[in-house]
Structures are given as structure tokens and as C-alpha cells.
Amino acid sequence: MRSKKSAAVLAGALAAGSILVSAPAASANSYCSSSGYTEGGFPNLRCTKLTNGVLSHGKRDLYPTYGTGVYTTYYKSGGSAVSVRLGWALGGASPSYSSYFTIESGKTVSRSWTTSANNLCLNSTGFLSYSGGTYQTPAAHC
């Protein structure tokens, strides 16, 4: 039940183009395989396991409109609070970033974007930037 509720909240945030800060459903945010796939193994949702959490990036078709919903999410599993910004890039382009947000252990921050073109099958990458550097996910594709 909690997974369905978290998914509904995330879907609403994506539709509104807003930022979501919540306590995660553990299986939805904390699993990331060594090859960069989440629990479902879908190529349009990729992840990177970090020391204190999981960075994930995905996209979905915005049916019936023409476009793609893109989102990058960070689940922080441990350590002290940190200020981060999330971003994404299509192909080899420079990343587009959100503003900075502070996140505490046990929380999830997600940022979403909407493209006017159908970019579902083009490679896109999620980014997490903080004062100590930048992390990125493997490319999400179809």
C-alpha cells in the first residue's frame, strides 16, 4: 500500500513539475544493482548506488500529449544533512539543474522536467551535484 501511495505522490509531482520531499518506500528507492538498474530492471529507469543513498533517473511518455517527462531522484540512506541539486542531460549536452535543496537521512528529493519533444528513446542521464562533486547515473533509454 505504501508503494502505491508513494507512486501516486510522485506521479502528481511529475505532472505538476514540482519537487517532492518524502519518506521513501524502501524498495522503490533503495535498490540499485551493480549494473545500474532498479528493482524492475527497466532501461528507462537507471540508478547509481552511492555511499549514503541511491541516485536514480528515469523518463516516461506524456501520453496523450507529445513530450517526455524526465525525473531525477535522490534517496539519502545515511550520513548528515547535505545540500544538493539534481539535474539531467540529454545525450552529451550540459546538464540542466534544479536549485539547491537540503536533504536529511531517510528522505527522498525528486525533481522533474518536461520536454516538448518525444525523447523517450534518446539517452539521458541524471546528475546530483553538491559542494564535494557530482555523481551521475548510467544513461536511461528505451
pLDDT in tens, 89-114: 999 899 999 999 999 999 999 999 99
* Residue 29, pLDDT score: 67
List C-alpha distances in Å: 34 to 10, 48, 55, 119: 25, 8, 13, 26
Phi, psi at 96, each rounded to 5°: -100, 130
* Residue 118, pLDDT score: 86
CATH pick for 2-136 out of 3.40.91, 3.10.450, 3.30.420, 2.60.40 = 2.60.40
pLDDT digits (tens, 9 = 90+) for 51-61: 999 999 999 98
* Residue 73, pLDDT score: 97
* Residue 8, pLDDT score: 41
Write down the domain spans for the chain: 2-136
- Alpha helix segments (H runs only) across the chain: 2-16, 26-29
**For the whole model, what pTM was predicted?**
0.78
- C-beta of residue 10 within 8 angstroms of C-beta of residue 102: no
